[in-house]
Structure 1
Amino acid sequence: MRGKNMIQFVQATRIASGSISSSKLRSALTTLGIVIGVAAVIINASLGASFNQFFTDEVTSVGSNFIIAYSDQPNIFYDSELEMIENTPGISGVSPRKTVSGEISYLSDTKSVSIVGVNGDFQEIQGIEMEEGSFLTDKDIYSTVLGYDLAKEEFGRSISHRSTVDIAFRQEDGTLIEKSFKVKGVLEDSKETILGGDGSTDMIVYIPISVMNEMTGEEDYGALFAMAESSENIGTVSDEVDKRLARNFGIPQRDIGNDDSKPYVIIDQVDVLEETGALGDALSSFLLVLALVSLFVGSIGIMNIMLVTVTERTREIGIMKSVGYSSSNIQSLFLLESVMVSVFGGLMGTAIGGFGAYIIEEALKLPPVFPFKLIEIGILVSVLVGVGAGLYPARKAANMNPVDALRYE
């Protein structure tokens, strides 16, 4: 019985292949619709995965296990708040971060830059890599670390980690305070991130926060960057930091969850990953819907061409029924033809989609991510499209009256 079924299948395949090859142009145009549809699905699904990976990389590039407390108001964070976070269980390091506009001079040239005050923990918290020299420590006083472009390109001559530069701030009363700093290190050449705050670090200047406040005549910190001991307890540690700061500012416990009632905001790596993940998922869904529209159009093309084929082969169907082909044989034959066209288009679409996704990801400078399960999805989708689009025409052929079919002109 199994051998007979195999013979019937081989015969059906030959008949279907002959029908497809007898109308090469029409079959090619029909296949093209599936190729475009499946390729669109593969490309958009791959791009969605690449965008998700891109957002994840952007978040992790800001730092590892980070917890940030910041405020748009001045005079919120001082040493007491810094020590409070530092003494929170689960915190492995904390650094102030304060950004002030200033000037840096080397030889006879002066540039306006963003100057950032930090302490020694900031390098590990934000995952900073050095091109040369080393980062600041808590023992440094008049030392600075420069961004790559600022040190190597902006002044015409390369600044090494042994050079001396002048850094100046203007106080509120207009007094210009200028000091000489030894360049302790130069940051690794970086790329701008979506979470960079001050933009690319290539044009940034880091100095000890204590020296910055001394020169500007201030005592507060703009933000506090902390790092949890492990990624598993970021949320718990972040909540504890929030509770301690809330008590410090006299905020009732019932209002801790209401950001409007607090003079500060806390964000952590988990929160940012969830938000960027939701953004990536929304983008993936949107791209996938667009691709499915293309696939739907391709399936309509297959159904249309199969209906035309059934009409053209009406007499053939009558002959086949008169020599013993059953309705199920006829239905299987036309369904097989539809699936063959669709699967061939699906294989081509998967290959083209994978290559196209790689080209687009390279052009957009996205991480090349191609989930190999997309190959299975592409083939499965093409089979389903072939069955779905060919089912109605196949049933129409199977239900024909053989006498009427033989009389058809």
Structure 2
Amino acid sequence: MKSLDVARTALGNTMRSKLRTALTVLAIVIGAFTLTITSGLAAGINQTVDDMVAGYGEEDQLFVMPAAAMGMGEDTGPGPQEYDPDAARAESEFGQAMLSEADIETLESIEGVTNVDPIFFVSPDYMEIDGTQYTFSDIGFPADAPAMELVAGEAPAREAAEITIPETWLTVFDENAEDYEEVDPEIALGQTVEIGISNMVYEQDTVEAEIVGVSTQNLAGIGGSPMPSHALNDELYEIQNSGLDIEREDAFVQAVVDVENLAENEQAIKDALQEEGMLGMTLEDMLGIIQSVIDAIAYVLYGFAIIALLAASFGIVNTLLMSVQERTREIGLMKAMGMSSGKVFGLFSTEAVLIGIFGSVIGAGLGLIAGFAANGALTAPGGPLGNVGGLTLFALNVPILVLTMILIIVIAFLAGTLPATRAAKKDPIEALRYE
């Protein structure tokens, strides 16, 4: 019997007991479906993160902030901690740990650092659009502007008094719109707004700015609030820090540090920052937290899928053992007509492999259909995740998908070796006498 004949016979044998075969295939389908969904989810989120990192530009940059602001200050053990007047004053004024001018000088002195761009913390009172004032206390950091996902316009120019607004603000430009999705984002571009901010003695002043872009919030949260240019942010800070006769030391919420050859110097500079009580992170580091959570969830789902496949393998063993028992006389006849034990083993192994192929193809197909359908429904405008810019929830990872199908087929083959071995070892004389 040629290999093609073996495959054709195996296919016919799997169809003898359709219900039993269908139930066995269904168990494999569940595992294949779960593996496909899980790998697609991990691929989608990782693709989103990669796109965001790639979109940030080619500059080698670290975002530096006080380690205490991230809950990673020096562990002094039990008991009271030594008083640091500069840190205490900055934290009392701004509600969080801040970088001082001395910290900026320290950053500039670190070997490998080519430029330090400190970012002031500002808290405006309102933004006035067409004569109406809107609460405006949450504002983005200018250094994050290149990572924004824009639906219209462009990022603010560094030296101009420009700002972007989130797309959720678009309803202020169309009083008849019930939802921001009904408003063309181009309508906001070129509009002049006034930003009100209070100084140290609660006297308000205003600054004019031009809206140059409309953003949507991405996976890292960037773009969900108005984003000022560096020049606008600095001007707002000067007003916020004025009003007293005494000169106050500047404090910075973070600093963007350009590093020469970041790939080689990253760890050395991070270690130097840690010694100075500061924390340096790349955008990839920050987004890596999201990746870690998704990967952890993926590993759990992978585990459940593997368990399902192992359970399905016992179904294959049971199905083929019953098939061997039912076809004992047939096996005896084939061997009596000269069919070798190896061909008999190959026949039943091929049946197991076919069951694996059926289950993997159907499961992977259903997984891809469900994954892409869910991605479209959830991330489309108006969907539950439609306001997360640049989000890809599910993506096709061809290598992982192929490996998944190969894994399932291998598991099916291994599950079929026991019944196939038993069939191959049957004595033809005894098999022909079997009732």
Query: Aligned residues, how many?
Result: 376
- 2:89 counterpart of 1:67: no
Please name the residue that 1:24 is paired with.
18
- Following superposition, the deviation at residue 205 of structure 1 comes to 5.5
Please name the residue that 1:355 is paired with.
369
Matching residue within 37, 41, 62 for 1:43: 37
CA distance in 2, matches of 1:186, 1:338: 62
- 2:132 counterpart of 1:103: no
Query: Which 10-residue stretch deviates more, 160-169 or 395-404?
Result: 160-169
- 2:282 counterpart of 1:268: yes
Please name the residue that 1:395 is paired with.
421
Query: Which 10-residue stretch deviates more, 361-370 or 26-35?
Result: 361-370
Please name the residue that 2:233 is paired with.
208
For 1:214-266, what per-residue CA distance to the aligned partner results, in whole angstroms no more than 9, with x for missing partners?
A: 33435423323314256x416626744874xx6xxxxxxxxx44xxx83x433
CA distance in 1, matches of 2:305, 2:140: 48
Residue 136 of structure 2 aligns to a residue whose secondary structure is: strand
Please name the residue that 1:169 is paired with.
198
- 1:196-275 residue pairs with structure 2 within 5 A? 196=222, 200-203=223-226, 207-217=232-242, 219-228=249-258, 232-233=261-262, 236=265, 239-240=268-269, 243=272, 256-257=274-275, 262=277, 264-269=278-283, 271-272=285-286, 275=289
Contact 1:146/1:205 (<8 A) preserved: yes
- Following superposition, the deviation at residue 378 of structure 1 comes to 3.7
CA distance in 2, matches of 1:308, 1:331: 15
CA distance in 2, matches of 1:97, 1:346: 55
- Following superposition, the deviation at residue 210 of structure 1 comes to 4.4
CA distance in 2, matches of 1:126, 1:87: 28
CA distance in 1, matches of 2:293, 2:268: 24
TM-score (norm 1): 0.76
- 2:148 counterpart of 1:153: no
Contact 2:193/2:211 (<8 A) preserved: no
Residue 134 of structure 2 aligns to a residue whose secondary structure is: strand
CA distance in 1, matches of 2:190, 2:342: 82
Residue 334 of structure 2 aligns to a residue whose secondary structure is: helix
- 2:402 counterpart of 1:376: yes
1:26 maps to a residue whose letter is R
Please name the residue that 2:300 is paired with.
286
Residue 114 of structure 1 aligns to a residue whose secondary structure is: coil
Structure 1 382/265 Cα, relative in aligned 2: closer, same or farther at 3 Å?
closer
- Percentage of pairs with the same residue: 21
Structure 1 69/113 Cα, relative in aligned 2: closer, same or farther at 3 Å?
same
CA distance in 2, matches of 1:150, 1:350: 38
Matching residue within 7, 11, 14 for 1:13: 7
Residue 203 of structure 2 aligns to a residue whose secondary structure is: strand
For 1:41-74, what per-residue CA distance to the aligned partner results, in whole angstroms no more than 9, with x for missing partners?
A: 2221222222222344455667764322223455
2:134 maps to a residue whose letter is K
Query: Which 10-residue stretch deviates more, 307-316 or 393-402?
Result: 393-402
- 2:338 counterpart of 1:329: no
Contact 2:193/2:210 (<8 A) preserved: no
Please name the residue that 2:314 is paired with.
300
Query: Which 10-residue stretch deviates more, 218-227 or 388-397?
Result: 218-227
For 1:123-181, what per-residue CA distance to the aligned partner results, in whole angstroms no more than 9, with x for missing partners?
A: 7765686945873545x6xx45241447633476776645242503263xxx4322232
Unaligned runs of 5+ in 1: 1-6, 247-255
Structure 1 180/352 Cα, relative in aligned 2: closer, same or farther at 3 Å?
same
Structure 1 132/83 Cα, relative in aligned 2: closer, same or farther at 3 Å?
farther
**Structure 1 segments (4+ residues) deviating >6 Å:** none
Structure 1 191/91 Cα, relative in aligned 2: closer, same or farther at 3 Å?
same
CA distance in 2, matches of 1:126, 1:92: 19
Structure 1 32/147 Cα, relative in aligned 2: closer, same or farther at 3 Å?
same
CA distance in 2, matches of 1:56, 1:25: 46
Unaligned runs of 5+ in 2: 70-86, 91-97, 176-186, 243-247, 380-390
Structure 1 32/86 Cα, relative in aligned 2: closer, same or farther at 3 Å?
same
CA distance in 1, matches of 2:226, 2:140: 14
Structure 1 166/280 Cα, relative in aligned 2: closer, same or farther at 3 Å?
closer
Structure 1 228/363 Cα, relative in aligned 2: closer, same or farther at 3 Å?
farther
